[in-house]
Each structure stands twice: as C-alpha cells, then as structure tokens.
Amino acid sequence: MTQKNKHLILWENMLKGDLVALEALYTLFHADLYHYALKITEQQNLAEDAVQDVFVDLWNYRQKIIGVNTPKFYLIRSLRNQCLKLLKKQNRLTDLTSANPFEISILPEELQLKVDNQLVKKAIETAMTKLSPRQREIIYLKFYNNLDYEELAEILDINYQSVVNHIHKAMIKLRQADVLQHFKY
C-alpha cells in the first residue's frame, strides 16, 4: 500500500468521525503545515494557531467535505487561506487578492536539496532571493511539498498556465545562477 493510499484511508476514516484518524493526520502533516504557516506568518504562535484552526475546522466541517483525493493538498490550501485570514485580522495584510501578499525566504535544506558544499548553499540562497515572491512560494510548494502544477494553481488561486510560467521563469533564473542542477523536477 502506498503512502498516498494510507493518507486517503485515514482521511476517509476521519470524515466518518474517527477521532484517532484525525489525530494521525495531524501527526503526519503537522510539521510541514507548521513550516509553511511560519513562512507565511513569520510568527510561531500565529503559525501554530493557523494549523490548529485548520484541524478544528476540518473536524467541525468534515461532513461537508467531498471529493478530496490528496489530503495534504487540501490541508495546505486550507492552511494558506487560514494564514491569510489571520494576517488580515492583524492588519498585516491589506489585500487578500494581491498577487504577492507576503514574502517567503527559502533555504536549500527546505527544498530537500542534498548540498554539502557551503558555497553552493550560499549560491542557491542568493539565487532564491532573485526570484519574485510568487516564484519563491511556487518553488517552495513544488519542491518542499511535492505538489503538482494543478494543485499549485488551485492553492494560489491562479491559472495553470501562470504556474507553468512562474516555474519556467524561476528555472531560467536558477539556471543563470548555475544552481539548477541541484533541483530535481
């Protein structure tokens, strides 16, 4: 049984009211969700609140959830929306529809790149700063969370072609910085 199938079984059990399945999903995805929430909010307590809110809502509204084939994708999308709501509530975000409502910084380790050389790590970090905020977020979601283009488009509320364009432009910049060979895509 694949990991995706295990996640779906837990998801389906949670939707049926299995609290143990909800706890298992929380345990499975908490670290990745918290990490992404921290990237968005830049505050530990706000990031943790956002993750908690997502799981509380998940439990409270589980009977209305249909058609989810990838639990992690659903949770990431819900988390991003929750983070944006919390930032708006704190008056740290004025426009929820903005193309680049926040900045994300990315370290090579976060993209699961196996780089031991400190000079290469520094070159990757520098190259990442040359990407637009939207490109960084897409690269982060693509490589850290292994999401496909359709999922990226839905999470970021942009069309598929925009995702393709952002990734293409990001890859050009990473190639120009001579660090693209460290990415597996």
Domain 3-89: assigned CATH number: 1.10.1740.10
Residue whose token pair is 């008056």? 91
pLDDT of residue 78: 97
Q: What pLDDT shows up at residue 145?
A: 85
Domain boundaries, the chain: 3-89, 108-182
Q: Is the pTM of this model over 0.85?
A: no
Higher pLDDT, 112 or 103: 103
Name which residue leads in pLDDT, 154 or 177: 154
Residue type, 104: I
What pLDDT band is residue 82 in, cutting at 50, 70 and 90? very high
Q: What is the pLDDT, as a whole number, of residue 110?
A: 62
- Quick one: CATH architecture of 108-182? Orthogonal Bundle (1.10)
